[in-house]
Structure 1
Amino acid sequence: MESRECDERSESEADPAVGEELAKAILARQFHPSVIGPEMWEGYIFSDQQIRIKESTDLYGAVLWPSAMVLCHFLETNRDEYNLLDKNVIELGAGTGLVSIVSCLLGAKVTCTDLPDVLGNLQYNVTCNTRGRCKYTPLVTELVWGPEVEQKFPQSTQHFDYILAADVVYAHPYLDQLLDTFSYLCQLDTQILWAMRFRLDPENGFVERFRQRFHLEELYDLPSLSIKLYRAWRRDKRTKAQEAAPV
């Protein structure tokens, strides 16, 4: 897989004005209802569709963070290079479901996962915004990062072309389990697309640890949002014989 590595600067980082305009274009995808009704929701425009997202403000994982919009914008505007049509996609920490919904609208076979306490709101959003619109019905399922992933998704029967994640890295005690989950799900031909908002030092440390297991390419750097978007793929586990063989 050919690509530039993360230590090269992305186009948005090389030209701050480009990053600022990109951030504005992404935030413009959001709209609010003109009339306030009995049910509160926020609207988004992706894949030429209006998407209505219901949040649950009493649950941290059921709030839509800007990183999800960044990832959705990238998926839609780069669909020629990152074509999700008929691809197997899993989202980690799906939250309110926006990334999974947009992936469904782009033709993917989507499995969206999160912790048990946010599944009700996640299922509601995904069902309301994909029913009758998508080629494949998305699967919403519980996933606790760590050892459970091997039971839920055995590698003998489960393979994902893309792993998507938006704002799953923050100051929580499960970063080791998250890294192990990325490692388990990411096979040799799997790509990770991961949007992350930098807040505290643990986020920076996680990126360095992540790079030890994966090749990492920076796709977006949006300083005004404190968000970066990465593409990653696993480092080949070459045998000693392979390493010694002439090129």
Structure 2
Amino acid sequence: MDVCLSSEQQPGRLQEAPCTPDGCLEPAEGGPQEDSTNGPPGDPNKIEPSLRSLQKFVPTDYASYTQEHYLFAGTKIVIQESIESYGAVVWPGATALCQYLEEHTEELNLQDAKILEIGAGPGLVSIVASILGAQVTATDLPDVLGNLQYNLLKNTLKRAAHLPEVRELVWGESLEQHFPKSTFYYDYVLASDVVYHHYFLDKLLATMAYLCQPGTVLLWANKFRFSTDYEFLDKFKQVFDTTLVAEFPESSVSIFKGILKWD
């Protein structure tokens, strides 16, 4: 996996600055206004109560975090990342998908669209979709949810019309129980760099298919690294009517649009 990514590989990335889990509470520039009643001006803990009061999940206590800065939709976005977990790093597919959403916002009609992201990781795609006006549900494994929710709240409070929701989603498990089709409908399902060399690709494909109903569009961005990526693409094409909508040669990322095939 490409843990060290250059700015050329990740469009939208700005400068980086180190931090710890407790030292990244400053809102991003242009972000939510701090409540002056929570502390004196300049107090770095002023915004902490408002974030913590909304958090249901606690970020994993990794030894070190870094602050990575991105610019999408005219907004500076600060993401807390750690290379100690695949789920706490922004991968090239995520930045490519953010760029695609930004450049096709009106065409995709993202305003008030209902979106679910599979494997949201540190949350960059969900944040950008929220800022662009969508109603977003960001999902991932339990150990990722604390950092994911932290980043979402920090970057969308008072910036997005709809505060994104965070939900646990284990691929292929208890889907009807946690996401019943009678209750949950999504205009878009988003996924970026969820396909690589792991043992859950069949469950991932089944989850993608389950979450799509008539009218749902799946957008999947992927950096192709291994033969398993291409094998998954072949299986994906058997389940979805597939269109290649964007390519990023500099990072080997392709974005596909999938519409579930119906018998």
Shorter-chain TM-score: which interval?
0.7 to 0.9
Greater RCO, 1 or 2 (C-alpha within 8 Å, sep 6+): 1
Which of 148, 159, 163 is 1:137 aligned to? 163
Q: Residue 200 of structure 2 corresponds to which residue in structure 1?
A: 174
Between the two proteins, what is the percent identity of the paired residues? 45
8 Å Cα contact 1:56/1:121 also seen in 2: no
Unmatched tracts of structure 2, length 5 or more: 1-6, 25-65
Runs (4+) of structure 1 moved beyond 4 Å? 35-39
Counterpart in the other structure of 1:100: 126
The aligned residue for residue 29 of structure 1 is 12
Give the aligned partner of residue 224 of structure 1. Answer: 250
The 8 Å contact of residues 170 and 200 in structure 1, kept in 2 or not, is answered as yes
Secondary structure of 1:168's match?
Answer: coil
Greater helix fraction, Structure 1 or Structure 2: 1
Q: CA deviation at 1:28?
A: 4.0
What's the counterpart of residue 47 of structure 1?
73
What is the letter of the counterpart of residue 71 of structure 1? L
> Are 2:58 and 1:58 aligned?
no
Aligned residues: 213
C-alpha separation in 2, matches of 1:36 and 1:155: 42
Aligned to 1:156: 182
1:99 is paired with a residue of what secondary structure?
helix
- Please state whether the residue corresponding to 1:81 is helix, strand or coil: helix
Cα distance per residue 1:169-199 (max 9 Å; x no partner)? 0111100110000110111100001100111
Give 1:136 deviation, angstroms.
0.7
Q: Verify the 8 A CA contact 1:109 1:136 in the aligned structure 2.
A: yes
Equivalence for 1:190: 216
Counterpart in the other structure of 2:227: 201
Whole-angstrom CA distance in 1 between matches of 2:78 and 2:168: 22
Q: How far apart are the structure 2 equivalents of 1:155 and 1:168?
A: 23
- For 1:120, the equivalent position in structure 2 comes to 146
> What is the TM-score when the length of structure 1 is the normalising length?
0.83
